[in-house]
Amino acid sequence: MPEDFNVTAYEVEGKVDYNRLEERFGIKPITEEMEERIRKLAGESHYLIRRKIYFAQRELNWLLDEYEKGNKFYVYTGIAPSGSMTVAHLLQFIMAQWLQEKFDADVYIQIPDEEKFLTKNDPKLTLEYVNGLAHEDALDIVALGFKPKKTKIYFDTEHANQIYKHAVRVAKRITFSTLKDAFGFSNETNIGAIFYTSTQAVGTFIKSAEEGRKIPCLVPLGVDQDVHFRVARDVVEKLGYYKPAIIHSKFIPSLKGGPKMSSSDPNGAIYLSDKPEDVVKKVNRAITGQQSTAELQKKYGGNPEKCSVCQYYKYLFETDDKKLEKIFEAERDGSMLAGEHKAALAGKINEFLEKHRKEKARLKNKIDDFILQPQA
């Protein structure tokens, strides 16, 4: 079968078939039963799970079994900064914040401020610059409603005292050969990029290591990041910790079409730093699933699955299923034309960003309460 799509830790190409991705990565769907278990334990369901945006998992039933036995889990996720955060980056943090609230979970957030420095050949991405982005990201993240005492953000270069000693334990058990296959590395890959994945693994057991006991860990991540844990999860178990449970999210499509909104594509992505007029401009240029003219759209209707505007509602900006269905229906039956459709979304996004900016301003001087205490 031809490789008509490609998902690696570093790029996503082609139209992603998530069923086939499950096979390739050896991950399993989140079943209706699992969804129901989560709903019962949390007291409510989450739209990202209901809509199968979080579509796959590893060890989720085990994690919930442990939780039911009173063995609480913590959440670990992260973001590798390369520019302002986009709304696509929110999927992991929206989920993490909800898990914190509903499962009383501590949340550890790795902001690896060396990763893009090591893996990108962009002279702008100096280590200092990426570190600055990392601190901006931290504020963007906590503004989503995380609890100060239960949230521990760490930066690889600033928390190296807490990370490096664990990373070398992971690293000792991973050969270059394994990474060559998993990440597509070559002999010309730099040795920092080669080592990096061992730091990403540390979050899956950092709380266990700190507290000297085995604590279950749940990692919400974009499915392209699964590879780090395919490589490391057996290692983590050999080090005496639980393998992490993982839930995998799909990619928010680019506004311009394309499989994944990327922060390196300014016109296809909405950044948390975008001004209202930028948002309006970008959304106005978005690819929709509508017919080529208003006449044809009114007559034949459009396809919400192919409409980036509809998808934005689905992934982020309309959490009410009934309202979402109305939006989709209006696209399908041709009753809502592209202009109106886009204006409404731009308004929703700007409303979110405005609230987000205010939260950031409010938390600016309180950010230290959300940072893992560095150790000398």
List residues near a second copy by CB under 8 A: 114, 117-118, 127, 156-161, 163-165, 167-177, 179-180, 185-195, 197-198, 374-376
C-beta of 157: minimal distance to a second copy in Å?
4
Which residue number, 175 or 292, has a Cβ lying nearer to a second copy? 175
Which residue number, 173 or 256, has a Cβ lying nearer to a second copy? 173
C-beta of 201: minimal distance to a second copy in Å?
11
- What is the C-alpha to C-alpha distance for residues 342 and 335, in angstroms, rounded to an integer? 14
- Name which of 152, 162, 158, 49 is nearest 114 in CA terms: 158
C-beta of 164: minimal distance to a second copy in Å?
4
C-beta of 195: minimal distance to a second copy in Å?
4
- What is the C-alpha to C-alpha distance for residues 94 and 350, in angstroms, rounded to an integer? 18
- What is the C-alpha to C-alpha distance for residues 270 and 277, in angstroms, rounded to an integer? 12
Extract the tokens encoding 89: 């980056």
Which residue number, 99 or 206, has a Cβ lying nearer to a second copy? 206
Which residue number, 53 or 125, has a Cβ lying nearer to a second copy? 125
Where would I find the beta strands (DSSP E) of 10-146? 12-14, 28-29, 54-58, 74-78, 107-111
- What is the C-alpha to C-alpha distance for residues 41 and 43, in angstroms, rounded to an integer? 6
**Contact between residue 48 and residue 54 where contact means Cβ atoms under 8 Å apart:** yes
Which residue number, 198 or 350, has a Cβ lying nearer to a second copy? 198
Which residue number, 92 or 131, has a Cβ lying nearer to a second copy? 131
C-beta of 257: minimal distance to a second copy in Å?
34
**Contact between residue 140 and residue 109 where contact means Cβ atoms under 8 Å apart:** no
- Name which of 321, 285, 330, 280 is nearest 303 in CA terms: 330
| Rg of the Cα atoms in the chain | 21
C-beta of 82: minimal distance to a second copy in Å?
15
- Name which of 162, 185, 173, 187 is nearest 376 in CA terms: 162
- Name which of 326, 341, 345, 325 is nearest 50 in CA terms: 325
C-beta of 92: minimal distance to a second copy in Å?
24
Which residue number, 96 or 179, has a Cβ lying nearer to a second copy? 179
**Contact between residue 111 and residue 155 where contact means Cβ atoms under 8 Å apart:** yes
